[in-house]
Structure formats: C-alpha cells, structure tokens
Amino acid sequence: MTDIHGRIRDFWDRDSATYDAAKSHAISDPLEAAAWRAALVSALPAASARVLDVGAGTGALSLLAAELGHDVTALDLSPGMLGEARRKAEDRGLDLEFVLGSAMEPPVGPFDAVMERHVLWTMPDPVGALRTWRGAAPGGRLVLFEGVCGSHALQQRAKDLAAETARKLLRRPPNHHAPYPEEVLERLPLRCMPSPAPLVEAMHQAGWKTVRIKRLRDVEWAAMLHEPWPLGWLEHLPRYALIADA
C-alpha cells in the first residue's frame, strides 16, 4: 500500500506544475467561481464552520470556502500541489491551515464538515477513507463534489474521440501532464464511475447517513461556456454533490 500511495503522490506532484492551466481545475474563470460559491453555500454548514478539504490540490475549493468565511484546513498528499495552494492563499490574503499528508490520516478534528472534489476515485480504499473522515467530523457533514465519467456507451466514446481531436485542432494542451498509470488505475475501485451509485454505496458502508444528491447544473454550464466551441460541449459531463451526515 505504501508503494501505491507513493506513486499517486508522485503523479500529482508532477501534475502540480501544469494543473492550474485548466480553468476548471483552478476555478479561475469568474463565472465558474461564482457557480462554485453557490454550490458551497448550499452544501456546507453556515459560516464560519470548521471545514476539512481533503485532497485540496492547488486549493481551488479551499480558497473559495475561506472567502465565504469558513475556517478551512487544506489537506493534500502532494507537496507540489499544496505549495501552489499556499502561494495562492498568500496572494489573496486568505488565512488557511495547510497540512501535508494522506487522506487516510486526516488532522485531528473535530470538523464541522469534510469535503472533497474528485478525490475518492484516486484512493485504493475509498470506504476506509470515508470511515476515517467520519471520525474526523463526528456529528458533522460530508460533502463530495463529483462527476459522471467513464461511460462506455457508443455516443460517449464518440464524443471523447471528437474532444481529443478538437483539442489538437484548437492547440489546447491536455488537462494533465500525462495519462494516469494503468497499473495504478487497476488498484482504484472507484475509477471511471459512469454513475453516482458506487459512491452512495461506499458512503453507506462507511456509516454516513441521510445521503442526498444535487446536480451542479450551474457549474456545468459555466465550465462549458469558458471553453471554445465545440470543446465545451464535447467535454461536458454531469456534475453533482453528494451530502451526508455522520
């Protein structure tokens, strides 16, 4: 397990150099940032809650939550990612706590909420992680910001191929520095989820209660608008928030 965590850390460390070049990664587009602020207000407890952002990356959601008045702790496995997050917080004059470490070993709470964005698919033991986060937020809230991907339907495969072609024609770089290693993907139970159902089941197994789902249509719309046509349409995927109580 140590080796797989090391490989995952190394991938995201290398990715940190170019990760924010994608507007939706950094949430650097003002319209998309506004949509995400609305999503955070809807999903998180009232400010100023103590919020743990697991797999915070370069800090996109951590920074927005801090702007909204929350007491945010940003946790990430990658020094490179967390360094970018710290730099952006300093540039914006925001006060956050940054913790370098594994999502399987969150800092001591209690937190009012634990949130993540597109992190659970990268974890070899997602149910174990969800149990650990419940321990960090006893009586608190879990917020998962996720999206539908990995569909093998013929229509989706055709769109993916067209999107790849459009990126080349528009001279848009890939969203990541390299493809995720296949031998690592094989160890990740929640990779390429075409439905939220596996996540809901994992949340139940980990003891989270009253799971509910909300489609993030404004985030989808804003993300589509900041990309040139037809790339925004071709890369559009459903996004949603899963919210539960400990």
Instruction: Tell me the pLDDT tens digit for each residue of 165-177.
Output: 888 888 888 889 9
Instruction: Tell me the pLDDT tens digit for each residue of 41-81.
Output: 999 999 899 999 999 999 999 999 999 999 999 999 999 99
DSSP state of 220: H
Instruction: Tell me the pLDDT tens digit for each residue of 3-12.
Output: 888 999 999 9
Burial of 91 (0-12, 13-18, 19+ CB in 10 A): exposed
Extract the tokens encoding 237. 């995927």
Q: Are 68 and 96 in contact (CB under 8 A)?
A: no
Q: What is the CATH number of the domain that holds 54?
A: 3.40.50.150
Q: Are 35 and 219 in contact (CB under 8 A)?
A: yes
* Counted domains in the chain: 1
Angle separating helix axes 79-92 and 2-15, nearest 10 degrees = 40
Q: What is the pTM of this model?
A: 0.94
Looking at per-residue confidence, does 149 or 202 come out higher? 202
The average pLDDT across 121-140 equals: 97
Number of residues assigned to the chain: 246
Residue 2 has pLDDT above 90, yes or no: no
Q: Are 103 and 1 in contact (CB under 8 A)?
A: no
Helix residue ranges, H only, the chain: 2-15, 23-26, 30-43, 60-67, 79-92, 126-136, 154-169, 182-185, 197-205, 217-225, 231-234
> How far apart, in whole angstroms, are the C-alpha atoms of residue 103 and residue 54?
6
Residue 196 has pLDDT above 70, yes or no: yes
Question: Could you tell me which residues come within 8 angstroms of residue 203 by beta carbon, excluding any fewer than 6 positions away?
Answer: 130, 142, 144, 211, 242, 244
Question: Could you tell me which residues come within 8 angstroms of residue 156 by beta carbon, excluding any fewer than 6 positions away?
Answer: none
Query: What pLDDT sits at residue 152?
Result: 65
> How far apart, in whole angstroms, are the C-alpha atoms of residue 223 and residue 33?
10
**Which range, of 125-129, 148-152, 230-234, averages the lowest pLDDT?**
148-152
Looking at per-residue confidence, does 30 or 152 come out higher? 30
Q: Which domain holds residue 236?
A: 2-245
